[in-house]
Amino acid sequence: MRCGEVKTLLEALGFIVSSKKSGGHKGFIHSGIPEFYGSNYNCGHGKNPELKPSYLKNILKVLETYEVELKSFLSEQKK
């Protein structure tokens, strides 16, 4: 997956994605999940590069860990 795709998908799930100080580092938080303090990934260099598998694995772990909370948040947003 490319960096832009990951950002779009995270934002669609209610995460706030922000650029960090160095290079292609991105951080993401979610206001609807109080116990989630945030995580990050590195986009690398170039225009819309591929994410390294280790970053995708970490993002998937976050999504799996907070699946119930995300579903609840998204259902509340639809109301």
Task: Give residue 23's pLDDT.
Answer: 73
At residue 38, does pLDDT exceed 80? Answer: yes
pLDDT band per the 50, 70, 90 thresholds, residue 29: very high
Dist. CA 37–CA 77, nearest whole Å:
21
Task: DSSP for 2-61, please give it.
Answer: BHHHHHHHHHHTT-EEEE-SSTTEEEEE-TT-TT---EEEE--SSSSPBPPHHHHHHHHH
Mean pLDDT of the chain: 90
Task: Give residue 76's pLDDT.
Answer: 87
